[in-house]
Amino acid sequence: MKLADNKATLSFSNGTPSIDLPVYHGSVGPDVVDIRKLYAQTGMFTYDPGFLSTAATQSAITYIDGDKGELLYRGYPIEQLATSCDFMETCHLLLYGNLPNAVQKKDFSSLVTNHTMVHEQMQFFLRGFRRDAHPMAIMTGLVGALSAFYHDSTDINNAEHREISAIRLIAKMPTLVAMAYKYTIGQPYMYPKNSLSYSGNFLHMMFANPCEEYKVNPVLERALDRIFILHADHEQNASTSTVRLCGSSGTNPFAAIAAGVACLWGPAHGGANEAALNMLGDIQKNGGVEKIGDFIKQVKDKNSGVKLMGFGHRVYKNYDPRAKLMQETCKEVLQEMGLEKDPLFKLAMALEKIALEDDYFVSRKLYPNVDFYSGIVQRAIGIPVPLFTAIFALARTVGWIAQLNEMIGDPEYKIGRPRQLFTGAVPRDVKPLAQR
Ligand code: ACO
């Protein structure tokens, strides 16, 4: 970051002397006011619950311009990455800062491929879960448990450990998600097949069984790969900030990523694709396209507690660029699967059209986010709804790791420790039990 020529001056109406605060420029996007010395100079904190105006870190990985609807990974527009690169190239880009050449791509992909198997003991650990456990409950446990299986890559302050754990996590997430799925449906786990691509191998581990030949469908393989690319990183969102905060204590990378998985599970974040598809299913059950008007009325009623899931975003105040790409993929997959007339897709398109014309959504700058269509794509691929968020976690793992490693390598890195405005009881004495 570069010190700007201008400064911010903070003045107070009660006579406290005003102070100058440094301002920094990034390479693009809003400047920041540096308040690190504010408490030492004034005895005051800033107050910003939800981080509406607070940059918690500097980062060179992902840039979002929410007003323009722009998303860049290391400077490259998401539209170009989604159409010209695959997920392995995207992982290389996020982790190391550059798109690989052909040799680097081959080396990186084979490194990941050679780490796809998980310790055989993991399946016995998995067996401890109820068969009907939510896949995200299982994933939170399995990812955290990796630190119990890979002791040689748990030192977050050791660059070699961070490198090995990064590759292990990217390689093993698909295996773990597929194992969690096979466990819930009572089928045998399928070992990874190293001749397949990252996405092809995931389809194989999910849908193959030992009794039959399984042929990867290239349209579905590409669709899944695009889902992975679109979800790979998204700047300082809730789960990424969780990973950074958790990792800032020096905990091991597997534990920090498990914290990210737990955070992602929530319906306001990664759980939204599952929630969006369930919402479409409910509307369909209650009358379908005809009843969209009634549903929109409910959404607009503050007391109903109903939200249009898959709509709205903290940062995008224009169309989420990932939603456009996902809508394209949605059409391709439905056509491939002979589901062009899929009622949920039709319902989603109709709902989107109505919402985009409605003043409630227009005035609040609420547009579809990536999750509005990703659920329909995943369902068409054959992925069961409760697994959607686990797929998101699989894809986001590379972003979490890239952000975690960036933080550890930052000379200004400190343990994350927010402060508070205390509004509780002032000091008081404990009375003996009989007098309370
Ligand atoms: N449906 C109806 N109203 C909404 C929606 C929605 N989906 N999203 C926001 N609003 C309304 C709010 O009620 C609020 O209205 P008000 O000003 O009259 O009080 C206004 O729009 C602003 O919304 P906030 O909640 O303040 O926006 P915030 O930035 O805090 O929330 C969030 C963003 C959590 C994503 C929200 O839009 C939401 O809950 N959307 C649905 C869930 C979803 O799709 N999440 C996925 C996010 S993308 C991802 O994680 C990959």
Cα–Cα dist 127/143, whole Å: 15
- Minimal-distance CA residue to ligand 1 atom 21: 364
Tens of pLDDT, residue by residue over 232-251, are: 999 999 999 999 999 999 99
* Nearest alpha carbon to residue 62 among 226, 242, 233, 232: 233
* Signed CA dihedral, 381, 385, 388, 390: sign only: negative
Please check whether residue 229 is in contact with residue 353, taking contact to mean a CB–CB distance below 8 angstroms. no
102 to 82, 83, 109, 225, 253: CA distances (angstroms):
18, 17, 11, 18, 29
Tens of pLDDT, residue by residue over 114-142, are: 999 999 999 999 999 999 999 999 999 99
Residues 123-158: b if buried by 16+ CB within 10 A, e if exposed: eebbeebeeebbbbbbbbbbbbbbbebbeebbebee
Please check whether residue 372 is in contact with residue 319, taking contact to mean a CB–CB distance below 8 angstroms. no
User: What pLDDT score does 339 carry?
Assistant: 87
The gap from C-alpha 37 to its chain's centroid, in whole angstroms, comes to 32
Q: CA neighbours within 13 Å on the CB side: how many for 178?
A: 26
- Residue 274: pLDDT band by 50, 70, 90 thresholds? confident
Q: Is 173 exposed, middle or buried (0-12, 13-18, 19+ CB in 10 A)?
A: buried
pLDDT higher at 316 or 431: 431
Share of the chain above pLDDT 70, in %: 100
The gap from C-alpha 138 to its chain's centroid, in whole angstroms, comes to 17
Specify the amino acid at residue 82: A
Please check whether residue 105 is in contact with residue 85, taking contact to mean a CB–CB distance below 8 angstroms. no
- Minimal-distance CA residue to ligand 1 atom 44: 310
Element (H, E) at 20: strand 19-25
- The structure's pTM equals 0.92
- Minimal-distance CA residue to ligand 1 atom 49: 269
User: What pLDDT score does 7 carry?
Assistant: 95
Sheet containing 70-73: which strands, arranged edge to edge? Answer: 62-65, 70-73, 76-77
Tens of pLDDT, residue by residue over 412-428, are: 899 999 999 999 999 99
Is residue 315's pLDDT more than 90? no
Q: Determine whether 313 is an active site residue.
A: yes
Task: Tell me the sheet residues that pair with 8.
Answer: 21
Q: Determine whether 161 is an active site residue.
A: no
Please check whether residue 243 is in contact with residue 166, taking contact to mean a CB–CB distance below 8 angstroms. no
Is residue 101's pLDDT more than 90? yes
Cα–Cα dist 166/375, whole Å: 27
Q: Is 288 exposed, middle or buried (0-12, 13-18, 19+ CB in 10 A)?
A: middle
Cα–Cα dist 75/81, whole Å: 10
Tens of pLDDT, residue by residue over 18-72, are: 999 999 999 999 999 999 999 999 999 999 999 999 999 999 999 999 999 999 9
Task: Choose which residue among 235, 277, 313, 359 to substitute to test ligand 1 binding: the one with the highest number of ligand atoms within 8 A of its C-beta.
Answer: 313
Cα–Cα dist 169/241, whole Å: 18
Tens of pLDDT, residue by residue over 196-212, are: 999 999 999 999 999 99
Classified as helix, coil or strand, 329 is helix
User: What pLDDT score does 24 carry?
Assistant: 97
Tens of pLDDT, residue by residue over 166-180, are: 999 999 999 999 999
Region 320-349: mean pLDDT is 90
User: What pLDDT score does 287 carry?
Assistant: 87
DSSP letters for 355-377: HHHSHHHHHTT--B-THHHHHHH
Region 175-194: mean pLDDT is 96
Q: Where are the beta strands (DSSP E) in 66-191?
A: 70-73, 76-77
Cα–Cα dist 96/129, whole Å: 36
Is residue 372's pLDDT more than 90? no
Tell how far the Cα of 160 is from the centroid of ligand 1, in angstroms: 41
Q: How is residue 288 annotated by DSSP?
A: G
pLDDT higher at 374 or 256: 256
Of the candidates 204, 231, 313, 320, the residue annotated as catalytic is: 313
- Residue 407: pLDDT band by 50, 70, 90 thresholds? very high
Tens of pLDDT, residue by residue over 341-369, are: 888 888 988 888 888 899 999 999 898 88
The C-alpha R_g of the chain, in whole angstroms, comes to 24
The gap from C-alpha 352 to its chain's centroid, in whole angstroms, comes to 23
Residues with CB under 6 A from ligand 1: 268-270, 272, 299, 307-314, 364, 366, 369-371
- Minimal-distance CA residue to ligand 1 atom 30: 314
Is residue 270's pLDDT more than 90? no
| Phi-psi map region of 323: left, alpha, beta (phi>0 left; psi -120 to 50 alpha) | alpha
Tell how far the Cα of 94 is from the centroid of ligand 1, in angstroms: 28
